[in-house]
Amino acid sequence: MTATDHTHVVVHPDADLLARATASRFLLALIDAQSVTSPVHVALTGGSILVDTLRAVAADPLRDAVDWTSVHVWWGDERFAPQGHPDRNDGDAHAALFSAVPLPPENIHAVPGPDRVADVAAAARAYSEELERYAPEGARVPELAVVLLGMGPDGHVASLFPGRPSLDVDALGALAETDSPKPPPERVSLTLPTLCSADQVWLVVSGEGKAPAVAAALAGTSLPESQGGTDDGSSVPAGRVHARGRTLWLLDLPATTALPTA
């Protein structure tokens, strides 16, 4: 199903197939990107289906066709917690994937936690500086080949939540969220323009609980306040992410149940 010229919706029967198909698609995208450029920058986030996808990447034989030494991993968002804290997104990704592939530790760009910087604002500043260090001459952020995003039932992506001022930050880089409606409250997120600067953004969403947010995002509308939305007609955050190249919605069947039937 095609939603617009650059936004495409792909539906898989269940969450397991969604994770495995997304994993193979991701590995092919890396192999493809490596045929024309090096290094290749990607951004990951947390969330249940994303971790299952990373586990499927580790189990996919295609992983051996990737030159992991030229892959750089960034975080779409990270919770402001010390290294090794269970709240952090990077711990899950390490267990699911990084421990299984020859990705050099220096290519994994972790967001600093309270064990390394004074506060969440300093963490966001440090991450923006790190992004700029890897950006092409004159740019603020690296060229992200693929950004993998999960989505919350309220339509949030990375740590950009409905109705929060962080959604309107128009600078490239990272921002500090100090009052996330989903715990923990302090997080660092890539800004919306940074997500949209990627060549491809893939929104990977599973489960009926997220179906209303999928439908709202694809229609460009809000959710009711009772579902964590703003009820003001503006698009849920996920619906505001449009990649420079292709935006892919990768869904399982239950996540499509609120979409209008063709």
Ligand X SMILES: O=C1O[C@H](COP(=O)(O)O)[C@@H](O)[C@H](O)[C@H]1O
Considering the rule CB under 6 A, would residue 162 count as an interface residue with ligand X?
no
Dihedral sign computed on CA atoms, order 70, 126, 241, 59: positive
Considering the rule CB under 6 A, would residue 89 count as an interface residue with ligand X?
yes
Write the Ramachandran bin of 14: left for phi over 0, alpha for psi from -120 to 50, otherwise beta.
Answer: beta
Point out which span in 1-9, 26-34, 45-53, 65-73 binds ligand X (CB under 6 A).
Answer: 45-53
Of 72, 45, 62, residue with least CA distance to 190 = 45
37, 38, 48, 99: which one contacts ligand X (CB under 6 A)? Answer: 48
With b for 16 or more beta-carbon neighbours within 10 A and e for fewer, the 74-112 pattern comes to bbbbbbbbeeeeebbbbbbbbebbbeeeebeeebbbbbb
Distance separating alpha carbons of residues 247 and 162, to the nearest angstrom: 20
**Total chain residues near ligand X (CB under 6 A):** 12
For the chain, the 3-state helix, strand and coil shares in percent, each to the nearest 5, are: 40, 20, 45
Considering the rule CB under 6 A, would residue 45 count as an interface residue with ligand X?
yes
Point out which span in 19-27, 41-49, 60-68, 216-224 binds ligand X (CB under 6 A).
Answer: 41-49
Choice between 82 and 104, CB closer to ligand X: 82
Sequence-distant (6+) residues with CB within 8 A of 22 are: 53, 56, 148, 202, 204, 250
47, 212, 228, 229: which one contacts ligand X (CB under 6 A)? Answer: 47
Considering the rule CB under 6 A, would residue 244 count as an interface residue with ligand X?
no
Choice between 142 and 150, CB closer to ligand X: 150
Distance separating alpha carbons of residues 26 and 259, to the nearest angstrom: 25
Point out which span in 6-14, 42-50, 111-119, 228-236 binds ligand X (CB under 6 A).
Answer: 42-50
Which residues, 49 to 68, sit near ligand X by CB under 6 A?
49
Task: Write down the least CB distance from residue 22 to ligand X, Å.
Answer: 13
Considering the rule CB under 6 A, would residue 150 count as an interface residue with ligand X?
yes
Considering the rule CB under 6 A, would residue 182 count as an interface residue with ligand X?
yes
Considering the rule CB under 6 A, would residue 46 count as an interface residue with ligand X?
yes
Distance separating alpha carbons of residues 22 and 207, to the nearest angstrom: 16
Considering the rule CB under 6 A, would residue 152 count as an interface residue with ligand X?
yes
Contact 192, 183 (CB under 8 A): no
Considering the rule CB under 6 A, would residue 239 count as an interface residue with ligand X?
no
Choice between 165 and 260, CB closer to ligand X: 165
Choice between 34 and 156, CB closer to ligand X: 156
Tell me the CA distances in angstroms from 139 to 6, 70, 191, 234, one per residue in order. 24, 20, 15, 30
Give the binding site for ligand X (CB under 6 A): 45-49, 77, 89, 150, 152, 158-159, 182
